[in-house]
Structure 1
Amino acid sequence: MRGETGLLADLGVLGIPFAAHEHDAVFTVAESDAVHAAMPGVHTKNLFLKDKGGAFWLVTVPSDARVNLKALPAAIGCKHVSFGKAEDMERLLGIAPGSVTPLAAINAMPGSITVVLDAPLVAADMVNVHPLRNTATLGLSGAAILDLLRHWGHQPLVAQIPVQTA
């Protein structure tokens, strides 16, 4: 697993600009809201999921989105999803709950997980994600996240993620 050192090296090799922020550990969106208040850009949350067929998915959405889990499978092309287990996250992505990020795909074998980005994130100039640990945040463009995922051999899916209303 290449980890954060590999991530920072790839950012340099690809010439991807980013902003790095160190902070106290955050485990929930509510905790991260306070830490991220002074950071510009779109803040994110991530869902580590497993579908009925056994495939794993990592879905990244804006932090304030309330994902409609019943409608999600149709939007991303699978059947019924449930939350993945921590041990599967560790095995596939090399991270623990609380540190979930699309950048953890650096540790995943291509094809072992599908990374899904909510379409508005891809167009954003600044998207804030963890660099494989929950004590820091990296701000980089949505396009740069796609570039990194492809650089690591993944075929990310960009989708309109359904959200709950009211």
Structure 2
Amino acid sequence: MNKNETLHYLEQHGIKYEIVEHQAVYNMAEMEQIELPHPEADAKNMFVRDDKKRNYYLLTIKSNKRVNLKQFREENGTRRLSFASPQDLKEKLGLEPGSVTPLGLLNDSHHEIPFYLD
């Protein structure tokens, strides 16, 4: 889905939203340089995969928390995890690095990617 299709989807489903546009960010240090309207809701969005490239996961974690993929793996019974490649991100969610968002799941037409919200 492109931006207009996503907005149309949100409107069709009566989902309230606020648009805040900013450049792509690749780490929390870059995020801190951006003035956002709700800093208490800042989060990290990460697209990860298992070591066999069979399962992919989208994780959203509070910005001030450290991510522990080993702990996540143990708690959720997954194989060993690492960050997915930019190619995987584009193929699976239609997103570019630095622009990962839960709304990208709207592009997962096969509903294969679990979403974990911390």
Partner residue in 2 for 1:157: none
Partner residue in 2 for 1:78: 78
Identity %: 34
Name the CA shift for 1:47/1:20 in 2 (closer, same or farther; >3 Å): same
Aligned 1:10-159 pairs, distance under 5 A = 10-36=9-35, 38-40=36-38, 41-53=40-52, 54-118=54-118
C-alpha separation in 1, matches of 2:108 and 2:9: 15
Matched residue pairs, number? 116
CA RMSD of aligned residues (A): 1.7
Q: Alpha-carbon deviations, 1:9-64, whole Å to 9, x = none?
A: 1111111112212334433221112213x412411111211113420111111112
Query: How far off is 1:78 after superposition?
Result: 1.0
Check conservation: 1:93, 1:104, Cα contact below 8 A.
Answer: yes
Partner residue in 2 for 1:131: none
Structure with higher strand content:
1
Secondary structure class of the residue paired with 1:110: coil
Name the CA shift for 1:83/1:6 in 2 (closer, same or farther; >3 Å): same
Runs of 4+ in 1 over 3 A off after TM superposition: none
1:58 aligned partner, one-letter code: L
C-alpha separation in 2, matches of 1:3 and 1:111: 18
Check conservation: 1:50, 1:83, Cα contact below 8 A.
Answer: yes
C-alpha separation in 2, matches of 1:24 and 1:101: 13
Mean alpha-carbon deviation: is it higher for 41-50 or for 19-28?
A: 19-28
C-alpha separation in 1, matches of 2:11 and 2:77: 34
C-alpha separation in 2, matches of 1:98 and 1:52: 22
Q: Does 1:9 align with 2:44?
A: no
